[in-house]
């Protein structure tokens, strides 16, 4: 198909616009060919995990997309019925594996509310700090990874590099890089180690600098904007009806953050922070909102460190934890969106039923609607910008 093989183009005088008609006619002929089915996954680098997408294509355009999930379904809700409350903390860590600590908090909160126990203020502060740190580490991965998905390799290395500092902090306080299992019903396992607070201050400054770097390198990049702007627009109302939450919904202009608007939990009511929204609802808006939220989280951590009270870190709880009968619904703002547990207790050492409401499940359920009519490369952009964790979808 080299250009030398083609005969020279004859000189034909065409009226303006005729060429466009010709081009369209050719496209219409191509449309008659059958649809192609592109099977993305379950093992594909762009699906960061084991999501499978069955995409029907018409040329380069997606006719319909059918996400097939369940490749990471581990049956948390059933296993929770066979575990005691302290054991479940270990389990729920692994739902959204990037922000493990944030997963523990609502579950422990649910058990504490059922038992009418409240963690002491210092424990609440440390919980909030660690929740925000896991948010930062999650979003840092996103800030690098999203750029990787649209073709820029370098930011991914930056994300991984800077994320290690936050993981170090989490490890320093909890002993675990990934799955801290640090919460106890009524408080925490341990107090913070010496020097942790001053080190955290240093790291937060580094993280804020890193955000500026991402803003310059990625968010302000013309190619990145061309790839993400007006791609995958989610209207706010529809997103809410699909149960989309968190930064994804805020990027569609819905000003709703459970840290500010939900039932008060941890020490968020005492913090001064801004909830960022973006009116566009496209992939770029989702990136931008998460970038701002990373910054906001760093500022929140600095605030929390300044206000950190002293005192005990555990409330008085019985040695064998029995939770009184009752039902409770707790919801928190996780990095990926609304995370909730509906815990039904019958007075035993373990729950009778735990309904786990995870954010990514609903965030991804909009995909069949969202992917209709987009081009194939944009599928990857949209997948990356929705930012899901497979464990959080499949549970």
Partner 1 sequence: MPDEPTEETAGEEEIAEPELLTDEQAALLAVFEAELGGGVIEHADAFGTLVVRIRPDSWRRSAEIAKTKLHCDYLSFVSGIDWQPMVAPRSNDDGGNDTSAPVQPTEMTFGTAGSAGRFQVFAHVQSTSRHHGVTLKTDVDADMPTAESWTSVYPGADWHERECAEMFGIGFSGHPNLRKLYLPAEFEGHPLRKDFALLAREVKPWPGLVDVEAMPGDDSPAEDGSG
Partner 2 sequence: MGLVENGTLSKPAAKPLTWLLNYSRKYSLWMFQWGLACCAIEMAAALAGPRYDMMRLGVIPFPASPRQADLVVISGTVTDKMAPAIKRLYEQIPDPKYVISMGSCSNCGGPYWDSYSVTKGVDQIIPVDVYVPGCPPRPEALLQGIVMLQERIQNEGLGNDELAARWRGEVPGDVAMVSTPVALPSPKARASKVGAPDA
Contacts of 344 (CB under 8 A, 6+ apart): 327, 351, 352, 353, 354
Of the listed pieces 29-37, 42-50, 122-130, 238-246, which binds partner 1 according to CB under 8 A? 238-246
Count of CB atoms within 10 A of residue 224's CB?
A: 22
Q: How far apart are CA 154 and CA 376, in angstroms?
A: 23
Q: Do 77 and 355 contact (CB within 8 A), yes or no?
A: yes
Q: How far apart are CA 122 and CA 313, in angstroms?
A: 6
Taking CB within 5 to 8 Å according to partner kind, which of partner 2, partner 1, none is near residue 161? partner 2
> Within positions 285 to 324, which residues make up the interface with partner 1, using CB under 8 A?
324
CA atoms within 13 A on the CB side of 86: 13
Site string for partner 2, 330-369 (x = CB under 8 A): ----------------------------------------
Task: Name residue, tokens 């009116």.
Answer: 279
Q: How far apart are CA 245 and CA 236, in angstroms?
A: 10
Smaller CB distance to partner 2: residue 90 or 307? 90
Backbone torsion region of residue 142, taken as left when φ is above 0, otherwise alpha when ψ lies between -120 and 50, otherwise beta: alpha
Taking CB within 5 to 8 Å according to partner kind, which of partner 1, partner 2, none is near residue 48? partner 2
Tell me which of 69, 123, 300, 379 binds partner 1, using CB under 8 A.
69
Of the listed pieces 92-100, 213-221, 250-258, 273-281, which binds partner 1 according to CB under 8 A? 250-258
Q: How far apart are CA 318 and CA 72, in angstroms?
A: 36
Does 243 sit near partner 1 (CB under 8 A)?
A: yes
Taking CB within 5 to 8 Å according to partner kind, which of partner 2, partner 1, none is near residue 254? partner 1
Tell me which of 8, 34, 75, 279 binds partner 2, using CB under 8 A.
75
Taking CB within 5 to 8 Å according to partner kind, which of partner 2, partner 1, none is near residue 249? partner 1
Does 99 sit near partner 2 (CB under 8 A)?
A: no
Buried b (16+ CB within 10 A) or exposed e, 265-284: bbbbeebebebbbbebbbbb
Tell me which of 54, 97, 312, 344 binds partner 2, using CB under 8 A.
97
Does 187 sit near partner 1 (CB under 8 A)?
A: no
Q: Do 68 and 162 contact (CB within 8 A), yes or no?
A: no
Residues in the site for partner 1, rule: CB under 8 A? Answer: 69-70, 73, 75, 77-78, 81-84, 113-114, 116, 237-238, 240-245, 249, 254-256, 261-263, 324-329, 331, 338, 340, 342, 344, 346-350, 352-353, 355, 357, 361-362, 365-366, 369, 394
């Amino acid at each position: 198909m080299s250009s030398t093989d083609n005969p020279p183009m004859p000189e034909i005088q065409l009226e303006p616009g005729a060429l466009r008609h010709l081009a369209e006619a050719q496209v219409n002929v191509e449309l008659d060919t059958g649809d192609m089915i592109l099977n993305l996954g379950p093992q594909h680098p762009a699906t960061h995990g084991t999501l499978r997408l069955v995409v029907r294509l018409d040329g380069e355009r997606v006719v319909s997309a059918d996400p097939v999930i369940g490749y990471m379904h581990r049956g948390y809700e059933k296993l929770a019925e066979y575990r005691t409350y302290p054991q479940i903390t270990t389990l729920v860590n692994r739902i959204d594996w990037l922000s493990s600590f944030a997963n523990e908090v609502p579950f422990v909160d649910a058990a504490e509310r059922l038992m009418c126990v409240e963690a002491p203020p210092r424990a609440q502060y440390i919980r909030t700090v660690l929740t925000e740190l896991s948010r930062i580490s999650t979003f840092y991965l996103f800030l690098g990874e999203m750029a990787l998905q649209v073709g820029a390799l370098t930011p991914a290395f930056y994300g991984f590099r800077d994320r290690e500092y936050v993981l170090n902090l989490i490890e320093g306080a909890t002993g675990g890089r990934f799955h801290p299992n640090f919460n106890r019903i009524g408080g925490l396992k341990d107090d913070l180690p010496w020097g942790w607070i001053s080190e955290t201050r240093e790291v937060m400054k580094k993280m804020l600098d890193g955000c500026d770097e991402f803003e310059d390198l990625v968010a302000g990049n013309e190619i990145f904007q061309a790839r993400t702007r007006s791609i995958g627009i989610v209207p706010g109302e529809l997103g809410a009806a699909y149960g989309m939450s968190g930064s994804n919904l805020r990027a569609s202009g819905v000003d709703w953050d459970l840290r500010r608007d939900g039932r008060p939990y941890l020490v968020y009511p005492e913090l001064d922070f801004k909830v960022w929204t973006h009116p566009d609802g496209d992939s770029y808006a989702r990136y931008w909102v998460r970038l701002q939220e990373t910054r906001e989280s760093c500022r929140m951590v600095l605030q929390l460190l300044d206000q950190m009270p002293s005192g005990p870190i555990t409330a008085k709880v019985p040695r064998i934890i029995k939770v009184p009968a009752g039902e409770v619904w707790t919801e928190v703002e996780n990095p990926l969106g609304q995370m909730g547990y509906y815990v039904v207790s019958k007075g035993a050492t373990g729950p009778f039923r735990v309904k786990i409401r995870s954010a990514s499940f609903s965030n991804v359920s909009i995909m069949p609607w969202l992917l209709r009519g987009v081009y194939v490369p944009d599928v990857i952009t949209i997948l990356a910008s929705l930012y899901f964790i497979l464990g959080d979808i499949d549970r």
